[in-house]
């Protein structure tokens, strides 16, 4: 597992977010980015996700949002799983890059991109 402090990991997530072009920022106002160690049992059961998942978008993609979505109190969320990312990487540089790819991958889901489209863009 690659050693990195929580603060350094969070900084890498912030840097990934800062790499998003300014014209996309207004569409991310109602998206919360949350770093967790790994998926918990409830998340694995309710969302049917594996324990080794790197990230997860929880929300309604922009293209599917209607007027009723504007009235919801809860923001869409992107969950980034720190321990899982640290496990799959072989170096610190690899980890920083994988954090960036994972953050952008999950943001892609918010914009309505599917797995094939994200792979074509290099975010898989």
**pLDDT single digits (tens) 41-75:** 999 999 999 999 999 999 988 887 766 655 565 78
Beta-carbon count within 10 A of 32 CB: 13
27, 111 in Cβ contact below 8 A? yes
How are beta strands 76-81 and 55-58 bridged, if at all? antiparallel
In angstroms, the CA 34 to CA 31 distance is: 10
Per DSSP, the residues of 19-43 read TS-GGGGGGGTTEEEEEESS--HHH
The pLDDT assigned to 61 comes to 87
Give the residues of the chain that fall short of pLDDT 70: 66-73
**Are 31 and 56 within 8 A, CB to CB?**
no
Pick the CATH number of 6-121 from 3.20.20.70, 3.30.2010.20, 3.65.10.10, 3.40.50.300: 3.30.2010.20
Percent of the chain scored above 70 by pLDDT?
94
Query: Distance of CA 35 to CAs 63, 70, 80, 99, 117, Å?
Result: 25, 25, 5, 11, 24
Q: What's the rounded Cα separation, in Å, for the pair 105 and 119?
A: 9
- The pTM of the full predicted model, rounded to 2 decimals, is 0.89
Phi, psi for residue 56 in degrees, rounded to 5:
-150, 130
């Amino acid at each position: 597992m690659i050693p990195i402090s929580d603060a350094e990991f969070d900084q890498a997530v912030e840097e990934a977010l800062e790499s998003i072009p300014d014209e996309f920022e207004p569409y991310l106002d109602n998206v919360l980015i949350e770093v967790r160690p790994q998926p918990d049992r409830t998340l694995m059961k309710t969302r049917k996700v594996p324990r080794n998942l790197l990230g997860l978008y929880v929300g309604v993609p922009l293209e599917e949002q209607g007027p009723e979505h504007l009235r919801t109190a809860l923001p869409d969320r992107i969950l980034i799983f720190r321990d899982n990312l640290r496990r799959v990487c072989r170096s610190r540089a690899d980890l920083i890059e994988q954090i960036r790819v994972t953050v952008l991958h999950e943001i892609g889901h918010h914009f309505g991109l599917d797995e094939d489209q994200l792979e074509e863009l290099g975010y898989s």
